């Protein structure tokens, strides 16, 4: 028999006007009593894309993790365990130097990562944040674990019939669409695979201390061109 938590969460997912992905993150934030949520897909411990976020700040946090390759989602996926940083601003708490600075500047004060997986198959991570420092309570933690399981099943359902090793994401989602477009252009400029072009974009963003979407927009709008000497 489904648990009361699962029944409640599935009921909330069926309510509201948001689409499947967007509603997933809205409900994650709602049931856990946090300020926002995001779901990131990862392959071979590398961030690939964001399925959804619950708002602008959540989107910034997800993009910072994608750009920098570090943060609660990355560690939760890599280690296969819940990651909790209850006070990003505390002395000695910055386990992710670059990400913590970006997250604090955006307005996050505590972040939490929950692995999304089915058995041994790792798909990504659920990210929760609070705009005030402090740990999650026992009920919040339990709801987050159920949300991560629901997210895993929704992701697998969306991948039905897709080639093994690929991930189906909404390319129109916030910053991901322009990053994908820019990666295609860089791929042509350097005659390299799109996956390698994405790495080049992220590396350029890291070196210039910018978000990857800002670099991508410069590429798409032809203010920036990559060459083999870069």
Residue 171 belongs to a domain: no
Residue 130 belongs to a domain: yes
Q: What is the pLDDT of residue 202?
A: 80
Same domain, 137 and 204: no
Same domain, 106 and 180: no
Residue 94 belongs to a domain: yes
Same domain, 37 and 115: yes
Same domain, 35 and 134: yes
Residue 229's pLDDT band, with cuts at 50, 70 and 90, is: low
- 51 against 114, higher pLDDT: 114
pTM of the model: 0.79
Same domain, 180 and 144: no
Residue 151 belongs to a domain: yes
| Phi-psi category of residue 10: left, alpha or beta, with phi > 0 → left and psi -120 to 50 → alpha | alpha
- 220 against 202, higher pLDDT: 220
Look at the chain and report how many structural domains it folds into: 2
Same domain, 125 and 53: yes
- 173 against 106, higher pLDDT: 106
Same domain, 121 and 181: no
In 77-166, the DSSP E strands lie at 83-85, 110-118, 121-130
Q: Which domain holds residue 146?
A: 4-158
Q: Is the pLDDT of residue 181 over 70?
A: yes
- Rounded Cα distance between 44 and 94, Å, is 24
How does pLDDT run across 122-162, given as a tens digit for each residue? 899 999 999 999 999 999 999 999 999 999 988 887 665 55
Same domain, 19 and 106: yes
Same domain, 22 and 79: yes
Point out the domain boundary residue: 107, 129, 158: 158
- 144 against 196, higher pLDDT: 144
Closest CA to 143 of 155, 160, 126, 159: 126
Same domain, 30 and 143: yes
Specify the residue for token string 């420092």. Answer: 133
Same domain, 22 and 108: yes
Residue 103's pLDDT band, with cuts at 50, 70 and 90, is: very high
Spatial contact of 8 and 26, defined as CB atoms under 8 Å apart? no
Residue 225 belongs to a domain: no
Same domain, 11 and 125: yes
Residue 163 belongs to a domain: no
Mean pLDDT of 34-55: 85
Closest CA to 67 of 219, 179, 174: 179
């Amino acid at each position: 028999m489904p648990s009361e938590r699962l029944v409640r969460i599935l009921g909330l997912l069926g309510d509201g006007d948001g689409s499947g992905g967007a509603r997933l993150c809205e409900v994650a934030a709602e049931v856990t009593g946090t300020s926002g949520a995001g779901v990131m897909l990862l392959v071979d411990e590398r961030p690939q894309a964001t399925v959804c976020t619950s708002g602008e700040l959540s989107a910034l946090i997800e993009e910072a993790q994608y750009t920098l390759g570090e943060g609660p989602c990355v560690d939760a996926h890599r280690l296969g365990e819940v990651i909790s940083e209850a006070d990003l601003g505390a002395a000695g708490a910055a386990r992710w130097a670059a990400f913590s600075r970006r997250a604090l500047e955006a307005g996050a004060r505590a972040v939490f990562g929950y692995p999304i997986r089915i058995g041994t198959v790792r798909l990504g991570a659920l990210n929760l944040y609070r705009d005030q420092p402090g740990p999650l309570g026992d009920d919040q933690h339990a709801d987050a674990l159920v949300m991560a399981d629901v997210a895993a099943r929704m992701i697998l359902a969306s991948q039905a019939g897709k080639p093994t090793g690929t991930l189906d994401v909404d390319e129109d989602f916030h910053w991901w669409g322009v990053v994908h477009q820019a990666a295609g252009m860089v791929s042509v400029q350097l005659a390299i695979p799109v996956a390698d072009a994405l790495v080049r974009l992220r590396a350029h963003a890291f070196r210039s201390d910018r978000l990857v979407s800002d670099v991508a927009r410069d590429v798409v709008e032809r203010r920036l061109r990559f060459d083999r000497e870069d």
